[in-house]
Every structure is written in structure tokens, then in C-alpha cells.
Amino acid sequence: MSIRSIRKTDSLPCSTQFTSLSREQPTLISLNRFEMKKNAALAIEAFALLRDKASTQHLTRNMRLVLAGGYDPRLEDNIHTLNGLVERARSSKLSFNVITPPQSKIPAPSFTGTTECDPDILFLLNFTTMQRSALLRSSSTRALLYTPTNEHFGIGPVEGMVCGLPVLACDSGGPTESIVDQPPEERTGWLRTPDPEVWADALEDICRMDPSARGLLAQRSKQRAESFFGMASMAKELETFLVETVEMGPVETWQIKGIAFMIAFLVGLVLAVWSRRFS
């Protein structure tokens, strides 16, 4: 899926295009629901610090941040989170725009001061599966930023690894299982404390990667995603679990219900991972 294929039209002026997911500028992406606990503010603050670094200004001059996620105007958490993120963009003197796909039934909320042409930050509400795939697969995407702290397993980092993207995530919760940070020669991503300055330093490392280093990291990421979280691997783990369960012998009724629940959960997880792959 080419990121250009989701452009509404190339002939319309910038103000009437379904702005520019299609632009070939270097892009950082964050894919999360617009909820306070997802801590997308970390991505904005780190991005602003990265842009301010004199040592990286030539690398980040045209770089943008795309914050994409689910948004429901009926939920106060969603409203307050988006409003807060827009204010952070303003306070960091970063231009921004808030958009939804043309087919979305929920219009984008209106904000003063939006920039429709080449914003520094693009808030994409209720993106489609095609757009998600396009962002993850685009050659212009430099990294996936996974901002939640103490998150459960989380499919986001694995999706990024499947697509060969460098992933920057918090050093807690699920990402510590899916991402390899050390040693550097085995790295598939960066695990860092959720501090904007620390994240800006990690983003600088990512931006400075040469094509060869990025290619090697992409190979390692795809291999790890397939080996540990692919369909075959997870099916084998499920089979092992079932065999071990049978070998335990007869169990009480309440234990049977618990085991059945765990099996259903594992099967659901396998199917979810498989259906979200970007082959």
C-alpha cells in the first residue's frame, strides 16, 4: 500500500486536499487512542526538543509528527486529551492541523490557528486500516513512537517491527517483552524512560541512522516479530500450553472454567495478531 494511494487528489489546492498523509517529508508516527493514559504529550514534547537541537536542525527541518488514533466526541477523556495536545503544540510553537478521513462520520473538531499546508504536527482522527498500513509502510516514516507507560502487551510495537520500523517505547510493560534494546547489535528498538529529553536524544540517534543501519535493524525487527509473535510461533506455544494442561490430570470444575477462559484468551490473541499483520 503506497501512502500516495490514499491522497484525495493531487490537483486540488492544499486547503482542500485530504491534507497530506501523502507528503514525502520525514515523518514520526504515534498510533494510539486519544486518551490521557496514552501519554501522547510525550511525543509532542520530545519532537519539539528534537527540532530545537542545533545538532539535528538540518535533519529535522522538514520533519513532521503524525498523531493518529481513535476519537469519540462523546467521551470527555477524548475531548480533553485532544484539546491538551493541541495546546502543547501551540505552546511549543509547532504548527498543526486536525483532520479526519473523508469517509468518517465524525467531523474533525475545529481549532483556531490550524495550518492546512505542511503542518509540523498532523492530528489524524479515526484513521482507516489502509491509512494505518500506509503510515507504517511508507518509506518516509522514520520511527514509531509508542508512548504509554506500564501498558499491557500492546500490538503497536509488534506492528512497527513487522514493518521494519525503529520503535521508541517506554521502558515498562509490554514493550520490554517485544522490543530488544540491548546490546546495540541486536537492537530492534529503543526502550527509554518517559522523559521528553531522553526521548529527544533517542530520536536523534534514530534520525542519524544511515540506510545500512536502518536496513539491518529492519531485518532484525521483522525476524523477531515473526519468530516470537507470528502465527506459527503463537500456535506452537498454545499447543504446548494445552499439552501441559492435559498432563496435569483431572481438575475441578472451577479449574476447568479458568483453563477454558485462558484458552479462549490465547486463541483470541493469536487471531488478533494474525489479522493485524501487514504482509
Neighbours of 236 (CB within 10 A): 11
- 279 residues of the chain, pLDDT tens digit each: 333 333 333 333 454 344 456 567 899 999 999 999 999 999 999 999 999 987 888 888 889 999 999 999 999 999 999 999 999 999 999 999 999 998 888 889 999 999 878 899 999 999 988 889 999 999 999 999 999 999 887 789 999 999 999 999 999 999 999 999 999 999 999 999 999 999 999 999 999 999 999 999 999 999 998 888 866 666 766 777 777 777 777 766 555 666 677 777 766 766 665 555 544
Where in the chain are the domains?
3-227, 230-275
Q: Which fold has domain 3-227?
A: Rossmann fold (3.40.50)
pLDDT at 6: 34
pLDDT at 12: 38
